[in-house]
A and B are shown apart, each in its own frame.
Chain A
Amino acid sequence: MLQFTCPHCGPRAQAEFVYERTVDSVVALDASPEDAMRTLFTRNNPRGVDDEIWRHTYGCRAWMVVTRHRVTNEISTIRAVGPEALA
């Protein structure tokens, strides 16, 4: 099991966290239908690093962005989610 360092609670077991989706798959409110379709239904799905949104569901319940390598599971950063984090 991985260990995630929650920006609010510190290091915790992965069991407390739930994966939501990738950062680039959040549909903007003013997206065109084509953009919304692409964002909702397709993924880069890299065999490498991607930015993922996770939630500390069984802890502080805050959202965060986890930058993780999908083969080695190495976590490079975990950031709290906010307007600046998603920018």
Chain B
Amino acid sequence: MSQYSAFGLLRGAFNGQKHWQPAWRDPEPKAHYDIIIIGGGGHGLATAYYLAKVHGLKNIAVLEKGWIGGGNTGRNTTIVRSNYRLKPLHDLFEFGLKMWEHLSDDLNYNVMFSPRGAMFLGHSDADMTKLAERGDAMRCDGIDADLMTRAEVAKLEPLLDMSRDARFPIDGALIQRRGGTARHDAVAWGYARAADSLGVDIIQKCEVTGFVRDGAAVVGVETTRGRIGAGRVGICVAGNSGHVAGLAGLQLPVESQTLQAMVTEGVKPMINSVIMSQSLHCYISQSDKGGVVFGGDPDNWPSYAQRGNSKVMEGAVAQGLALVPALSRLRMVRTWSGVTDMSFDGAPIIGETPVKNLYLNGGWCYGGFKATPASGWTYAHTLATGTPHALNAPFALDRFERGATIDETGSGPMPNSR
């Protein structure tokens, strides 16, 4: 695998750019792998990469039912941040954020990580109190957080409606300046290329249809491309977690719901940071191509359809227009939906399952993209050693029966109230 570099690009310029090769192979599945990862999204590909790179394993496959990065990895709003309130979430997401800062160098692939600042607006005294509380919690754990005044918010984002009679008047904000966005497709492709170069087999159009058992243990998978044996199997399928775990007879604390997002036509720079809100479920950022990306609430009812309800989209657009009235001049060019596996405390599940040799990484709700490197790192550790990494130990599947939930919003076991 040749390294990408500015010099290589320059050399290609004198050769009609004819030197480009496919970034990863398209291998036939082998009869047996030491570790099989089900799901070729960012998390699954990252897991395979760290299994090969950090743990030195060579006989690994990633099985993807469609094409890599075609699920939630390509359907999110690309926001990267670690501004949570609870310590286990701080530890995991901050570990991930530090990895984002060097990810392009590590993968030799430009993931276009852009730490432009992740800002949560406050619309009332109560909002500002909650934001200050969150900022305090972050700073106690060594994560950057700054409260912003109205004037500072107006300076950073001149197009926000800062008038006192705005639909959602802005009192200030909490910003994590190290947060931002990345290019989500590049994350999948970068991890895929890097994992492939270390010998990982990435097998697309290969859907898992069942598990092969030897007594209580899983020893392989049945797929649309035949039976494949495995030492350990890791589920990493986001919205389809419940479905795939169901093939092994497991019921998960997960319900699959729809989350929608949308993008406008490309325009000159108008949104400088990632704008979010303490009261609203609306998040706005501008891609490097110029499109203004925004999203809103989950649809709040179970669905695997990858298409959503127009009412929810209308709500997100109404909130976005109220915050940034200039958006009303733009045409929306695309909307799409992903299937999110909403866990019952809002936090992910990474660890072993009651079935021997079968592991689970899921339940990321609507917040998995930002965790891609940390998720892969900790899941690789779990799959390689059979025991959780310190960072994912709190996110074990059995935490619900132990009463050790990680409930950031304090809303209890109702995914549709998050």
Residue numbers of A with Cβ under 8 A of B are 1-2, 14-15, 18-22, 37-38, 40-47, 50, 52, 54, 70-73
The CA of A15 and the CA of B311, in the complex, are separated in Å by: 7
Chain B residues with a Cβ closer than 8 Å to the other chain, count: 25
In whole Å, how far is B193's beta carbon from the nearest beta carbon of chain A?
A: 31
Decide yes or no: A43 and B255 within 8 Å by CB, A19-B301, A70-B305, A71-B305 being known contacts.
Answer: yes
Contact A52 B253 (CB under 8 A): no
Contact with A45, one of B246, B300, B310, B311 (Cβ below 8 angstroms): B246
Contact B302 A70 (CB under 8 A): yes
Contact B302 A52 (CB under 8 A): yes
Interface members, chain B 64-92 (any A CB < 8 Å): none
Chain A, Cβ-Cβ closest to B399: A41
Query: How many pairs, one residue from A and one from B, have CB atoms within 8 Å of each other in the complex?
Result: 70
Interface-central residue, A14, A45, A52, by most chain B CB under 10 Å: A45
The CA of A71 and the CA of B339, in the complex, are separated in Å by: 11
Chain B, Cβ-Cβ closest to A50: B302
The CA of A21 and the CA of B342, in the complex, are separated in Å by: 13
Asked if B287 CB lies within 8 Å of chain A CBs, one says no
Interface-central residue, A1, A19, A22, by most chain B CB under 10 Å: A19
Residue numbers of B with Cβ under 8 A of A are 240, 242-243, 246, 251-256, 300-305, 309-311, 344, 400-401, 413-414, 416
Q: Can you list 8 A-B contacts with CB-CB less than 8 angstroms, sorted by A residue number?
A: A1-B311, A22-B302, A45-B242, A45-B243, A45-B246, A47-B240, A47-B304, A70-B304
Contact A45 B305 (CB under 8 A): no
The CA of A38 and the CA of B397, in the complex, are separated in Å by: 13
Contact with A43, one of B251, B300, B303, B310 (Cβ below 8 angstroms): B251
Chain A, Cβ-Cβ closest to B314: A15
Contact B311 A47 (CB under 8 A): no
Q: A18 — which chain B residues lie within 8 A by C-beta?
A: 300
Contact A41 B300 (CB under 8 A): no
Q: B255 — which chain A residues lie within 8 A by C-beta?
A: 43, 45
Interface-central residue, A2, A15, A50, A54, by most chain B CB under 10 Å: A15
Q: A50 — which chain B residues lie within 8 A by C-beta?
A: 302
Chain B, Cβ-Cβ closest to A38: B251
In whole Å, how far is B206's beta carbon from the nearest beta carbon of chain A?
A: 17
The CA of A27 and the CA of B251, in the complex, are separated in Å by: 16
Contact B252 A43 (CB under 8 A): yes
The CA of A71 and the CA of B251, in the complex, are separated in Å by: 19
Contact B302 A41 (CB under 8 A): no
In whole Å, how far is B57's beta carbon from the nearest beta carbon of chain A?
A: 31
Contact with A37, one of B256, B401, B416 (Cβ below 8 angstroms): B401
Contact A19 B300 (CB under 8 A): yes
Contact B246 A44 (CB under 8 A): yes
In whole Å, how far is A22's beta carbon from the nearest beta carbon of chain B?
A: 8
Q: B414 — which chain A residues lie within 8 A by C-beta?
A: 21
The CA of A20 and the CA of B255, in the complex, are separated in Å by: 12
Q: A44 — which chain B residues lie within 8 A by C-beta?
A: 242, 246, 251
Decide yes or no: A72 and B305 within 8 Å by CB, A19-B300, A38-B251 being known contacts.
Answer: yes
Q: A47 — which chain B residues lie within 8 A by C-beta?
A: 240, 242-243, 256, 304
The CA of A19 and the CA of B309, in the complex, are separated in Å by: 13
In whole Å, how far is A80's beta carbon from the nearest beta carbon of chain B?
A: 19
Q: A52 — which chain B residues lie within 8 A by C-beta?
A: 301-302
Contact A37 B305 (CB under 8 A): no
Contact A42 B251 (CB under 8 A): yes
Q: A43 — which chain B residues lie within 8 A by C-beta?
A: 242, 251-255
Contact A73 B311 (CB under 8 A): no
The CA of A43 and the CA of B414, in the complex, are separated in Å by: 11
Chain B, Cβ-Cβ closest to A68: B302
The CA of A40 and the CA of B252, in the complex, are separated in Å by: 11
The CA of A43 and the CA of B400, in the complex, are separated in Å by: 13
